[in-house]
Amino acid sequence: MTILHIANTQFESELQGLQDNHPVHDQLQFLPFVYANPEDSVLVNWLTPGLPKKPKGVGPNQINGVTRVESWGPSEKIKIFARQHQLEYEIPPIEVVKTIASKFYPFEQGYAMPGSSILKTHADMQHWLNHVKPPFVFKKPFATAGRGHKIFKCKAALHCDFKGSVLAEPWVSRDQDFSTQWNIDKSGKITLFGWTLMDCNEFGKYRASHIIKQQPAFIDAHIEAAWPLLQKIATLGFFGQLGLDGFTYNDRLHPVCEVNPRKTMGWVALKLCKKLQTQSLSMFYARGEKGLLPTTPLGLQLTALTP
């Protein structure tokens, strides 16, 4: 069964009904060339020089020889597109996807950072500020790669007016960010695909994924703590790829800080690792002219290094 891959990396914005024209998506549309099978096709907005011949890059009017669609994240827009082209495309209920994609979801399921709270009103904020010392961070319910986060290093800096509720958390110095990648099939079976260590900047923006031979001890602790959450997500009717993010700080484990009901950069790194038949790999952004994806005006290249 041949597949048409669509990298809708603006997934979180679509869940909010918003347009996201950030230039990074111009480059990330080519991500499936890293992991798709040679017989598959990749839908792109334009065919740029240097694309591999296999898998094949195609425009919206060049689709043929494929039977189903596989996307980065579940999408109602892609569901309509697939129906128009008579292609198979199965996704979980989009309301379920929205529920678990929210930054509030881990908090609501018992994975809250100590001292954190969901603030819905100005009174909530004032009460919370009376009990928490800065620095702290406010997070919108839907954000990706640190976008939608606001860090306050002192109370005097609180001049930012968020519309709607925010998740307020004490800001901690992280020792190690990490992610685990999972697959949940339609029967509810949960399978671990792998784990990666992550580099993120202070705002939570992704910088790199690392795969190493030696599994850190906190990964097993994370899996044990996260398993009830994964079971709950499966019972809600979600199926497909899913990433869980967590981190360590002050010799403590915060087992789940985000749920990503979609493919992730960690998933891509693991797929690339299997493709290259290596046990260790680093995938990161760097300035340069050549990398895993075609060059765009963004000025950054996704690069991979193996031992």
Cis peptide before 135 (omega within 30 of 0): yes
Return per-residue pLDDT of the chain as tens, 307 residues: 799 999 999 998 888 888 777 778 888 999 999 999 999 999 999 888 878 889 999 998 899 999 999 999 999 999 999 999 999 999 999 999 999 999 999 999 999 999 999 999 888 888 888 888 888 888 888 866 555 577 777 665 565 555 788 999 988 989 999 999 999 999 999 999 999 999 987 767 788 999 999 999 999 999 999 999 999 999 999 999 999 999 999 999 999 999 999 999 999 999 999 999 999 999 998 877 678 888 766 667 889 999 8
Q: What's the Cα-to-Cα distance from 265 to each of 58, 178, 207, 251, rounded to whole Å? A: 23, 12, 10, 26
Closest CA to 241 of 88, 4, 73, 9: 73
Closest CA to 6 of 61, 83, 84, 59: 59
Sequence letter at residue 112: A
Domains parsed from the chain with CATH numbers: 3-91 (no CATH), 97-104+173-305 (3.30.470.20), 114-170 (3.30.1490)
State residue 288 phi and psi, 5-degree precision. Answer: 175, 175
**Within 13 Å of residue 102, how many CA atoms lie on the same side as its CB?**
19
